[in-house]
Amino acid sequence: MEIDDRYSRQVLFKEIGAEGQKRLSGSRVVIVGCGATGSALASLLARSGVGTLRIIDRDYVEASNLQRQTLFDENDARESVPKAIAAARQIARFNSLIAVEPQVADLIPANVDSLLGGCDLILDGTDNFETRYLINDYAVKNSVAWIYAAAVASYAVTMNILPGETACLACIFPQSPRGTVETCETSGILNSAVNLVASLAATEAVKFLVGARAKMRRTLLSWDVWTNERAELAAIHPRTGCRTCLRDFVHLAGEGRAHITMCGRNSVQIHERQRPVDFVALSTRLEPLGKVRHNEFVLKFWRDPYELTLFPDGRAIIKGTTDTAIARSLYARFVGS
Protein backbone atom coordinates (compact mmCIF):
# COMPACT_ATOMS: atom_id res chain seq x y z
CA MET A 1 0.00 0.00 0.00
CA GLU A 2 1.35 3.43 -0.91
CA ILE A 3 1.90 5.64 2.10
CA ASP A 4 0.06 8.51 0.37
CA ASP A 5 -2.97 6.29 -0.18
CA ARG A 6 -3.03 5.01 3.41
CA TYR A 7 -3.10 8.51 4.89
CA SER A 8 -4.74 10.35 2.00
CA ARG A 9 -7.91 11.34 3.87
CA GLN A 10 -5.87 12.63 6.80
CA VAL A 11 -3.54 14.58 4.49
CA LEU A 12 -6.60 16.22 2.92
CA PHE A 13 -7.33 17.79 6.32
CA LYS A 14 -5.51 21.07 5.73
CA GLU A 15 -4.41 21.48 9.34
CA ILE A 16 -2.24 18.37 8.86
CA GLY A 17 -1.47 18.19 5.15
CA ALA A 18 1.54 16.47 3.61
CA GLU A 19 4.03 18.29 5.84
CA GLY A 20 2.15 17.36 8.99
CA GLN A 21 2.00 13.75 7.89
CA LYS A 22 5.78 13.76 7.44
CA ARG A 23 6.13 15.12 10.97
CA LEU A 24 3.91 12.35 12.32
CA SER A 25 5.98 9.69 10.57
CA GLY A 26 9.13 11.05 12.20
CA SER A 27 7.63 11.25 15.70
CA ARG A 28 8.30 9.01 18.69
CA VAL A 29 5.50 8.60 21.25
CA VAL A 30 5.47 6.61 24.49
CA ILE A 31 2.19 5.21 25.80
CA VAL A 32 2.37 4.22 29.46
CA GLY A 33 -0.25 1.56 30.13
CA CYS A 34 -2.06 -0.41 27.44
CA GLY A 35 -5.38 -1.15 29.05
CA ALA A 36 -8.59 0.49 27.88
CA THR A 37 -7.37 4.04 27.28
CA GLY A 38 -3.86 3.00 26.27
CA SER A 39 -4.97 0.47 23.67
CA ALA A 40 -7.41 2.96 22.14
CA LEU A 41 -4.66 5.60 22.02
CA ALA A 42 -2.22 3.15 20.45
CA SER A 43 -4.74 2.17 17.77
CA LEU A 44 -5.61 5.76 16.89
CA LEU A 45 -2.01 6.95 16.69
CA ALA A 46 -0.82 3.86 14.81
CA ARG A 47 -3.56 4.38 12.23
CA SER A 48 -2.63 8.08 12.06
CA GLY A 49 0.92 7.16 11.07
CA VAL A 50 2.96 8.11 14.14
CA GLY A 51 6.31 6.63 13.17
CA THR A 52 7.37 4.99 16.43
CA LEU A 53 5.19 3.90 19.34
CA ARG A 54 6.74 2.56 22.52
CA ILE A 55 4.07 0.74 24.53
CA ILE A 56 4.79 0.08 28.22
CA ASP A 57 2.51 -2.21 30.21
CA ARG A 58 2.99 -4.50 33.20
CA ASP A 59 -0.13 -6.64 32.78
CA TYR A 60 -1.52 -9.47 30.65
CA VAL A 61 -4.78 -9.84 28.72
CA GLU A 62 -7.84 -11.30 30.50
CA ALA A 63 -11.35 -11.98 29.26
CA SER A 64 -12.76 -9.06 31.27
CA ASN A 65 -10.58 -6.68 29.21
CA LEU A 66 -12.27 -7.47 25.90
CA GLN A 67 -15.33 -5.27 26.52
CA ARG A 68 -13.25 -2.10 26.13
CA GLN A 69 -9.61 -2.88 25.26
CA THR A 70 -9.72 -2.72 21.50
CA LEU A 71 -6.36 -4.22 20.48
CA PHE A 72 -6.96 -7.63 22.07
CA ASP A 73 -8.94 -10.75 21.19
CA GLU A 74 -10.12 -13.96 22.85
CA ASN A 75 -6.95 -15.84 21.97
CA ASP A 76 -4.83 -13.19 23.71
CA ALA A 77 -6.93 -13.71 26.83
CA ARG A 78 -6.72 -17.52 26.65
CA GLU A 79 -2.95 -17.35 26.31
CA SER A 80 -2.49 -14.57 28.91
CA VAL A 81 -0.39 -12.61 26.41
CA PRO A 82 1.22 -9.48 27.90
CA LYS A 83 -0.75 -6.46 26.74
CA ALA A 84 2.25 -4.68 25.23
CA ILE A 85 3.09 -7.75 23.11
CA ALA A 86 -0.53 -8.33 22.04
CA ALA A 87 -0.87 -4.66 21.08
CA ALA A 88 2.30 -4.72 18.99
CA ARG A 89 1.14 -7.85 17.16
CA GLN A 90 -2.25 -6.37 16.34
CA ILE A 91 -0.83 -3.02 15.21
CA ALA A 92 1.53 -4.87 12.84
CA ARG A 93 -1.53 -6.41 11.18
CA PHE A 94 -3.06 -3.07 10.21
CA ASN A 95 0.01 -0.82 9.90
CA SER A 96 3.32 -2.50 9.16
CA LEU A 97 4.82 0.85 8.14
CA ILE A 98 5.41 2.03 11.70
CA ALA A 99 7.71 0.76 14.46
CA VAL A 100 6.24 -0.52 17.70
CA GLU A 101 8.44 -1.12 20.73
CA PRO A 102 6.60 -3.27 23.30
CA GLN A 103 7.96 -3.10 26.83
CA VAL A 104 6.52 -5.61 29.33
CA ALA A 105 7.48 -3.68 32.44
CA ASP A 106 6.23 -1.72 35.40
CA LEU A 107 7.29 1.92 35.15
CA ILE A 108 9.23 2.71 38.35
CA PRO A 109 11.92 5.25 39.31
CA ALA A 110 14.70 2.74 38.55
CA ASN A 111 13.71 2.35 34.87
CA VAL A 112 11.92 5.61 34.09
CA ASP A 113 14.85 7.13 32.17
CA SER A 114 15.37 4.10 29.95
CA LEU A 115 11.65 3.57 29.27
CA LEU A 116 10.65 7.19 28.67
CA GLY A 117 13.88 8.50 27.17
CA GLY A 118 14.14 9.64 23.57
CA CYS A 119 10.45 10.42 23.06
CA ASP A 120 8.68 13.50 21.77
CA LEU A 121 5.50 13.00 23.78
CA ILE A 122 4.22 10.79 26.61
CA LEU A 123 0.61 9.59 26.73
CA ASP A 124 -1.15 8.36 29.86
CA GLY A 125 -2.89 5.00 29.67
CA THR A 126 -2.30 4.12 33.31
CA ASP A 127 -4.82 3.36 36.04
CA ASN A 128 -3.17 4.94 39.10
CA PHE A 129 -1.87 8.27 40.35
CA GLU A 130 1.39 6.79 41.65
CA THR A 131 2.57 6.17 38.08
CA ARG A 132 1.09 9.44 36.80
CA TYR A 133 3.05 11.45 39.38
CA LEU A 134 6.20 9.62 38.31
CA ILE A 135 5.51 10.51 34.66
CA ASN A 136 4.82 14.09 35.71
CA ASP A 137 8.14 14.36 37.59
CA TYR A 138 10.05 12.95 34.62
CA ALA A 139 8.24 15.18 32.12
CA VAL A 140 8.76 18.40 34.09
CA LYS A 141 12.42 17.60 34.85
CA ASN A 142 13.18 16.83 31.20
CA SER A 143 10.76 19.32 29.59
CA VAL A 144 8.83 16.61 27.77
CA ALA A 145 5.14 17.17 27.00
CA TRP A 146 2.62 14.61 28.21
CA ILE A 147 -1.15 14.14 28.20
CA TYR A 148 -3.06 12.96 31.28
CA ALA A 149 -6.13 10.83 30.54
CA ALA A 150 -8.43 8.70 32.66
CA ALA A 151 -11.83 7.04 32.47
CA VAL A 152 -13.98 5.23 35.02
CA ALA A 153 -17.69 4.37 35.01
CA SER A 154 -19.16 6.93 32.56
CA TYR A 155 -16.65 9.66 33.41
CA ALA A 156 -13.65 10.77 31.35
CA VAL A 157 -11.01 13.40 32.12
CA THR A 158 -7.93 14.66 30.30
CA MET A 159 -5.36 17.48 30.38
CA ASN A 160 -2.41 18.55 28.25
CA ILE A 161 0.80 19.22 30.19
CA LEU A 162 3.45 21.37 28.52
CA PRO A 163 6.20 21.80 31.14
CA GLY A 164 7.10 25.41 31.85
CA GLU A 165 4.06 26.61 29.95
CA THR A 166 0.90 25.06 31.39
CA ALA A 167 0.00 23.65 34.79
CA CYS A 168 1.44 20.22 35.55
CA LEU A 169 -0.47 17.35 37.15
CA ALA A 170 0.74 18.32 40.63
CA CYS A 171 -0.45 21.88 40.09
CA ILE A 172 -4.01 20.59 39.78
CA PHE A 173 -3.71 17.58 42.12
CA PRO A 174 -1.08 18.43 44.77
CA GLN A 175 -1.83 15.12 46.47
CA SER A 176 -3.20 11.82 45.27
CA PRO A 177 -6.98 11.49 45.80
CA ARG A 178 -7.69 10.11 49.27
CA GLY A 179 -10.42 7.93 50.72
CA THR A 180 -12.58 5.69 48.55
CA VAL A 181 -11.55 6.12 44.93
CA GLU A 182 -13.64 4.72 42.10
CA THR A 183 -11.94 2.15 39.90
CA CYS A 184 -13.06 -0.01 36.99
CA GLU A 185 -13.18 -2.94 39.41
CA THR A 186 -15.56 -1.16 41.82
CA SER A 187 -17.62 1.09 39.53
CA GLY A 188 -17.29 -0.54 36.13
CA ILE A 189 -16.62 1.37 32.93
CA LEU A 190 -18.36 2.21 29.68
CA ASN A 191 -16.27 1.62 26.58
CA SER A 192 -17.75 4.82 25.15
CA ALA A 193 -16.15 6.85 27.98
CA VAL A 194 -12.81 5.20 27.18
CA ASN A 195 -13.09 5.96 23.48
CA LEU A 196 -14.11 9.56 24.17
CA VAL A 197 -11.10 10.33 26.33
CA ALA A 198 -8.75 8.46 23.97
CA SER A 199 -10.10 10.40 20.99
CA LEU A 200 -9.65 13.71 22.79
CA ALA A 201 -6.13 12.84 23.94
CA ALA A 202 -5.09 11.43 20.55
CA THR A 203 -6.29 14.56 18.78
CA GLU A 204 -4.28 16.75 21.17
CA ALA A 205 -1.28 14.48 20.56
CA VAL A 206 -1.57 14.94 16.79
CA LYS A 207 -1.82 18.72 17.24
CA PHE A 208 1.39 18.67 19.26
CA LEU A 209 3.26 16.40 16.86
CA VAL A 210 2.40 18.39 13.72
CA GLY A 211 3.39 21.64 15.42
CA ALA A 212 -0.06 23.08 16.14
CA ARG A 213 0.65 23.83 19.82
CA ALA A 214 -1.45 27.01 19.71
CA LYS A 215 -4.52 24.86 19.02
CA MET A 216 -3.99 22.66 22.09
CA ARG A 217 -6.49 22.90 24.94
CA ARG A 218 -5.26 24.61 28.13
CA THR A 219 -7.85 23.15 30.52
CA LEU A 220 -8.55 20.06 32.56
CA LEU A 221 -11.61 18.73 30.72
CA SER A 222 -14.06 16.29 32.30
CA TRP A 223 -17.05 14.72 30.60
CA ASP A 224 -19.70 12.30 31.83
CA VAL A 225 -21.14 10.49 28.83
CA TRP A 226 -24.11 9.17 30.83
CA THR A 227 -25.30 12.39 32.52
CA ASN A 228 -24.00 14.70 29.77
CA GLU A 229 -22.29 16.86 32.38
CA ARG A 230 -19.17 18.62 31.18
CA ALA A 231 -16.70 20.85 33.01
CA GLU A 232 -13.39 22.58 32.40
CA LEU A 233 -10.82 23.89 34.85
CA ALA A 234 -8.22 26.40 33.69
CA ALA A 235 -4.70 24.97 33.52
CA ILE A 236 -3.05 27.78 31.55
CA HIS A 237 -0.13 28.49 33.88
CA PRO A 238 1.85 26.58 36.55
CA ARG A 239 0.53 27.00 40.10
CA THR A 240 2.60 29.22 42.38
CA GLY A 241 4.32 27.04 44.96
CA CYS A 242 3.85 23.77 43.05
CA ARG A 243 6.45 21.40 44.45
CA THR A 244 7.11 19.72 41.12
CA CYS A 245 7.38 22.95 39.15
CA LEU A 246 9.89 24.11 41.78
CA ARG A 247 11.87 21.00 40.75
CA ASP A 248 11.40 18.93 43.88
CA PHE A 249 10.97 15.54 42.22
CA VAL A 250 9.95 13.30 45.11
CA HIS A 251 8.39 10.65 42.88
CA LEU A 252 11.51 10.28 40.76
CA ALA A 253 13.41 9.80 44.01
CA GLY A 254 11.01 7.01 44.92
CA GLU A 255 10.02 8.54 48.25
CA GLY A 256 7.30 6.50 49.95
CA ARG A 257 6.95 4.16 46.98
CA ALA A 258 6.11 0.61 48.03
CA HIS A 259 7.88 -2.32 46.37
CA ILE A 260 4.59 -4.19 46.44
CA THR A 261 1.60 -2.45 44.92
CA MET A 262 -2.03 -3.32 44.40
CA CYS A 263 -3.14 -4.01 40.85
CA GLY A 264 -6.87 -3.93 41.51
CA ARG A 265 -9.16 -6.88 40.80
CA ASN A 266 -8.26 -8.54 44.14
CA SER A 267 -4.56 -8.88 43.39
CA VAL A 268 -1.11 -7.78 44.49
CA GLN A 269 1.89 -7.01 42.32
CA ILE A 270 5.37 -7.87 43.55
CA HIS A 271 8.15 -6.09 41.68
CA GLU A 272 10.89 -6.06 44.30
CA ARG A 273 12.44 -9.29 42.99
CA GLN A 274 14.74 -8.56 40.06
CA ARG A 275 16.09 -11.85 38.80
CA PRO A 276 15.76 -13.94 35.64
CA VAL A 277 13.37 -16.89 35.88
CA ASP A 278 13.75 -20.17 34.00
CA PHE A 279 10.14 -20.97 33.12
CA VAL A 280 10.88 -24.54 32.06
CA ALA A 281 12.66 -25.44 35.29
CA LEU A 282 10.10 -23.68 37.46
CA SER A 283 7.20 -25.37 35.63
CA THR A 284 8.74 -28.76 36.32
CA ARG A 285 9.09 -27.91 40.01
CA LEU A 286 5.52 -26.57 40.31
CA GLU A 287 3.67 -29.29 38.38
CA PRO A 288 3.21 -31.58 41.44
CA LEU A 289 1.79 -28.63 43.41
CA GLY A 290 -0.93 -27.32 41.10
CA LYS A 291 -1.87 -26.45 37.53
CA VAL A 292 0.90 -24.63 35.66
CA ARG A 293 1.47 -23.45 32.10
CA HIS A 294 3.78 -20.97 30.42
CA ASN A 295 4.71 -19.34 27.13
CA GLU A 296 7.74 -17.21 26.36
CA PHE A 297 6.23 -14.20 28.11
CA VAL A 298 4.48 -15.40 31.28
CA LEU A 299 4.17 -18.39 33.59
CA LYS A 300 0.81 -19.00 35.28
CA PHE A 301 0.39 -21.19 38.33
CA TRP A 302 -2.91 -22.02 40.07
CA ARG A 303 -3.05 -23.11 43.70
CA ASP A 304 -6.63 -22.68 44.84
CA PRO A 305 -7.75 -20.03 45.72
CA TYR A 306 -4.73 -18.17 44.31
CA GLU A 307 -3.41 -17.54 40.81
CA LEU A 308 0.21 -16.49 40.32
CA THR A 309 1.41 -14.88 37.10
CA LEU A 310 5.17 -14.62 36.81
CA PHE A 311 7.18 -12.58 34.29
CA PRO A 312 10.71 -13.41 33.06
CA ASP A 313 12.33 -10.69 35.19
CA GLY A 314 10.88 -12.08 38.44
CA ARG A 315 7.95 -9.67 38.72
CA ALA A 316 4.68 -11.34 39.71
CA ILE A 317 0.97 -10.63 40.00
CA ILE A 318 -0.80 -12.72 42.62
CA LYS A 319 -4.58 -12.87 42.29
CA GLY A 320 -6.90 -13.94 45.07
CA THR A 321 -5.70 -11.63 47.84
CA THR A 322 -5.05 -7.98 48.62
CA ASP A 323 -2.94 -8.91 51.66
CA THR A 324 0.71 -8.14 50.90
CA ALA A 325 1.89 -10.53 53.62
CA ILE A 326 0.04 -13.44 51.98
CA ALA A 327 1.40 -12.40 48.57
CA ARG A 328 4.96 -12.32 49.91
CA SER A 329 4.51 -15.72 51.49
CA LEU A 330 3.14 -17.27 48.29
CA TYR A 331 5.93 -15.79 46.22
CA ALA A 332 8.62 -17.05 48.59
CA ARG A 333 7.01 -20.51 48.79
CA PHE A 334 6.53 -21.12 45.08
CA VAL A 335 9.13 -18.92 43.39
CA GLY A 336 11.77 -18.34 46.05
CA SER A 337 12.86 -15.65 48.46
Amino acid, single-letter form, for residue 221: L
Report CA-CA distances (Å) from 255 to 28, 124, 133, 211, 252.
30, 22, 12, 36, 8
* CA 241 to mean position of chain CA atoms: 29
Segment 290-319 mean pLDDT: 92
pLDDT band at 188; cut points 50, 70, 90: confident
Residue 188 Rama label (left phi>0; alpha psi -120 to 50; beta) = left
pTM: 0.89
Residue 152, C-beta contacts closer than 8 angstroms, at least 6 positions apart: 182, 183, 184, 187, 189, 193
* pLDDT attached to residue 219: 98
Fold agreement between 3-234 and 260-334: no
pLDDT of residue 180: 47
Average pLDDT over residues 249-254: 93
Using pLDDT thresholds of 50, 70 and 90, give the confidence band for residue 140.
very high
pLDDT of residue 175: 87
CATH 3.40.50.720 correct for 3-234: yes
Sign of the Cα torsion 321, 69, 86, 150 reads negative
Give the model's pLDDT for residue 176: 79
The predicted structure's pLDDT at residue 279: 92
pLDDT at 264: 61
pLDDT digits over 89-125, tens only?
Answer: 999 999 999 999 999 999 999 999 999 999 999 999 9
Q: What is the average pLDDT across 295-303? A: 93
Compute φ and ψ for 130, nearest 5 degrees: -55, -50
192 has pLDDT over 50:
yes
pLDDT digits (tens, 9 = 90+) for 172-185: 999 877 654 566 66
Mean pLDDT of 186-209: 94
What's the pLDDT at 114?
Answer: 97
Mean pLDDT of 196-224: 98
Q: Write down the CATH number for the domain with range 260-334.
A: 3.30.310
- Does residue 1 have a pLDDT over 60? no
Q: Where are the domains of the chain?
A: 3-234, 260-334
pLDDT of residue 256: 61
Average pLDDT, the chain: 92
Predicted confidence (pLDDT) at residue 85 exceeds the cutoff of 80: yes
Q: Where are the beta strands (DSSP E) in 58-98?
A: none
Mean pLDDT of 315-329: 91
